[in-house]
Amino acid sequence: MFFRMLKGWMPRSLFGRSALIVLVPVSVTLMVVTVVFIQRLYEGVTEQMTLALSHEALLILDRVEAAADPAGALEQALEVAAPLDIEIAAGAPGVETRRGIFDLSGRTVVDVVFREIPGVLAVDLVSRDGWARIVIASSKGPVELIVPRGRLSARNPHQFLVLIGVTAILMSLVALIYLRNQVRPVRRLAFAAEAFGKGRVVPYRPSGAAEVRSAGTAFLDMRDRIERQIEQRTLMLSGVSHDLRTPLTRLQLGLSLIEDSEDVEAMRRDLKDMEAMLEAFLAFARGDALEAPERVDPIALARDLVEQMARNLPVLAGPMAGEGSAMLRPQALRRALENLINNGVRYGKEARLSVEVTSEAIVFVVEDSGAGIPEAQRDEVLRPFSRLDEARNQNRGSGVGLGLTIAADIARQHGGRLELGESRDLGGLRAELIIPR
Ligand SMILES: Nc1ncnc2c1ncn2[C@@H]1O[C@H](COP(=O)(O)OP(=O)(O)OP(=O)(O)O)[C@@H](O)[C@H]1O
Ligand SMILES: [Mg+2]
């Protein structure tokens, strides 16, 4: 319970935690030193000084007692008091025992004086700044001794405390600066890794302590390997698609020379389908992986796309809320949304695109009024070349089954995801393309 509460209070960042690890021991040590110093040394010294003064006061009192009359008493006492740097006056009434709130040694002074000098009436540490007034009863009436405060307790003990305090603060500052320099490489590594997760490659060079450096090197190796793999996949797929095109064109040419018949017509249609598939395949392979991210206003992009597509398709603009820009790959993003909208138009009557921009994410939503996709099949349609049963797709043109795969791929390139659901407003499919910021 207590530890859980403590956990809630702990700073979350590495720097905050390291700072705590440095500052807590320093402040605890400082506190212990201060308390011990005040109690042991400061009070001890004060007690000894006050004790010495009490003895001098007793000496002066002896003179007062020994005098024959009150007038001579003061004179006699002064003989001893003057060299001791103590002033004497006939007792003034109305002097009370008082000390300042922050007068740490005052209590010790008062205690010792009362303990050592019999007949003390009052010890006033306040009414005369820098002086102590001690009123003592004698047979000649009350006598007041006025002593410089500096003779009762060590002066300026604060200097010592201030010195430790300043040193502690200075050393802590140096430690914090050093700490921050140690934390920076970790933060840079985290930044590079996060950016790569969102599909961005930012310049990064391992630096800092050995462990951070080796983590950074490992990250770079991993990033290179993933990039190489993407590149290889792209090269291989586009190579295959490209090489298939040549014989396909030759076949088409050959067919056009053959006399028309029903069989030839069917073959031509198959060839056309193959070509379309190849086209889609090429687009998928290209993957826009090479497009560099740039600062884009997602709402402007969405409005633009709807306006363009609405010219010859039933495409509507839904609510577009929020504002702000983000680092995105605009061409890839347009292609993903086009695929979703084309699906909506093809499998429903119309498609609607809406956007919501928050501080955490950009969410593009494409909805349609079609039959939707049953929950059990939502994973399946995301796989390449998967199409739902032909009966559903009758007379809806020939798709390849790559549209959703490409859209999901592009979402992943941005560190996001594609989620399929059911549209509450339109009744058909609701495709959400979510990109974290
Ligand atoms: N909005 C939708 N409503 C209902 N079914 C859909 C919807 N979008 C996709 N589907 C189903 O999911 C399948 C896969 O869609 P996907 O976009 O990946 O491929 P496609 O549309 O068949 O071909 P293309 O590669 O030309 O886009 C479709 O064949 C269709 O059966
Ligand atoms: Mg499609």
Q: What token pair was written down for 130?
A: 């820098």
375 located within any domain:
yes
Contact between residue 151 and residue 45 where contact means Cβ atoms under 8 Å apart: no
DSSP string, 254-298: HHHHSPP-HHHHHHHHHHHHHHHHHHHHHHHHHTTTTPPPEEE-H
pLDDT band at 333 (very low <50, low <70, confident <90, very high): very high
Residue 413 has pLDDT above 80, yes or no: yes
Predicted local confidence at residue 171, as pLDDT: 92
430 located within any domain:
yes
Predicted local confidence at residue 104, as pLDDT: 75
Residue 196 has pLDDT above 60, yes or no: yes
Q: What token pair was written down for 295?
A: 């600062």
pLDDT band at 418 (very low <50, low <70, confident <90, very high): very high
Predicted local confidence at residue 212, as pLDDT: 94
Residue 114 has pLDDT above 80, yes or no: yes
What mean pLDDT do residues 287-315 have? 87
Residue 282 has pLDDT above 80, yes or no: no
Q: Give residue 347 CA to ligand 1 midpoint distance, Å.
A: 7
How many helices (H) does the chain have, and how many strands (E)? Answer: 12, 11
**Ligand 1 binding pocket includes 55 (Cβ within 6 Å):** no
Residue 64: give its domain's CATH number. 3.30.450
User: pLDDT tens-digit profile of 138-179?
Assistant: 888 888 999 998 888 876 667 878 888 899 899 999 999 999
Query: What's the angle, vertex CA 125, arms to CA 121 and CA 129, rounded to 5?
Result: 140
Which ligand has an atom closest to residue 368 CA? 1
202 located within any domain:
no
Q: Is 89 helix (H, G, I), strand (E, B) or coil?
A: strand
Q: What is the mean pLDDT of the chain?
A: 87
Predicted local confidence at residue 81, as pLDDT: 87
User: How many angstroms separate the first and last alpha carbons of the chain?
Assistant: 35
Enumerate residues with CB within 5 Å of ligand 2 (an ion).
343, 399, 403
**Ligand 1 binding pocket includes 392 (Cβ within 6 Å):** yes
What mean pLDDT do residues 337-343 have? 93
**Ligand 1 binding pocket includes 370 (Cβ within 6 Å):** yes
170 located within any domain:
no
What mean pLDDT do residues 395-415 have? 81
Given 133, 155, 177, which residue is the final one in a domain?
155
Q: Give residue 358 CA to ligand 2 midpoint distance, Å.
A: 28
Dihedral angle sign, alpha carbons of residues 329, 331, 335, 337: positive
Structure letter (DSSP) for residue 103? -
Residue 1 has pLDDT above 90, yes or no: no
139 located within any domain:
yes
Residue 405 has pLDDT above 70, yes or no: yes
Which ligand has an atom closest to residue 386 CA? 1
Residue 391 has pLDDT above 70, yes or no: no
Predicted local confidence at residue 298, as pLDDT: 95
Structure letter (DSSP) for residue 99? -
Predicted local confidence at residue 33, as pLDDT: 85
Sort strands 315-321 and 294-296 into parallel, antiparallel or unpaired. unpaired
**Ligand 1 binding pocket includes 276 (Cβ within 6 Å):** no
* Protein residue closest via CA to atom 31 of ligand 1: 388
**Ligand 1 binding pocket includes 371 (Cβ within 6 Å):** yes
**Ligand 1 binding pocket includes 388 (Cβ within 6 Å):** yes
Residue 394 has pLDDT above 60, yes or no: no
Residue 402: give its domain's CATH number. 3.30.565.10
Q: Give residue 401 CA to ligand 1 midpoint distance, Å.
A: 6
Given 101, 126, 155, which residue is the final one in a domain?
155
* Protein residue closest via CA to atom 13 of ligand 1: 387
**Ligand 1 binding pocket includes 402 (Cβ within 6 Å):** yes
247 located within any domain:
no
- Which residue has tokens 């390291």? 18
344 located within any domain:
yes
With both helix axes pointing from N to C terminus, report the angle between 70-81 and 43-66 in degrees, rounded to the nearest 10: 140
253 located within any domain:
no
Q: Of 51-65, 87-101, 288-302, 383-397, which range is least confident?
A: 383-397
Predicted local confidence at residue 429, as pLDDT: 94
User: pLDDT tens-digit profile of 222-260?
Assistant: 999 998 998 888 788 778 878 888 888 898 898 888 888
Contact between residue 434 and residue 348 where contact means Cβ atoms under 8 Å apart: no
- Range of the structural domain that residue 130 is part of: 14-155
CA separation for the pair 325, 313 (Å, rounded) = 28
Query: What's the angle, vertex CA 428, arms to CA 427 and CA 431, rounded to 5?
Result: 120
Residue 147, judged by CB atoms within 10 A of its CB (0-12, 13-18, 19+), counts as buried
- The alpha helices in 10-42, defined as continuous H runs, are 14-36
- Which residue has tokens 């609607």? 352
Given 155, 178, 201, which residue is the final one in a domain?
155
Q: Give residue 394 CA to ligand 2 midpoint distance, Å.
A: 14
- Which residue has tokens 């020939």? 398
**What pTM value is reported for the model?**
0.59
Sheet of strand 143-148: strand arrangement: 87-90, 143-148, 131-136, 120-124
pLDDT band at 52 (very low <50, low <70, confident <90, very high): very high
Number of domains in the chain: 2
What mean pLDDT do residues 293-316 have? 93
* Nearest Cα to Cα of residue 346 among 380, 385, 320, 309: 309
* Nearest Cα to Cα of residue 289 among 419, 414, 402: 414
Residue 87 has pLDDT above 80, yes or no: yes
What mean pLDDT do residues 286-314 have? 86
- C-alpha 229: how far from chain center: 34
How would you classify residue 34: left for phi > 0, otherwise alpha for psi between -120 and 50, otherwise beta?
A: alpha
Predicted local confidence at residue 395, as pLDDT: 53
Q: What token pair was written down for 275?
A: 């070509």
Predicted local confidence at residue 268, as pLDDT: 87
Residue 282, judged by CB atoms within 10 A of its CB (0-12, 13-18, 19+), counts as middle
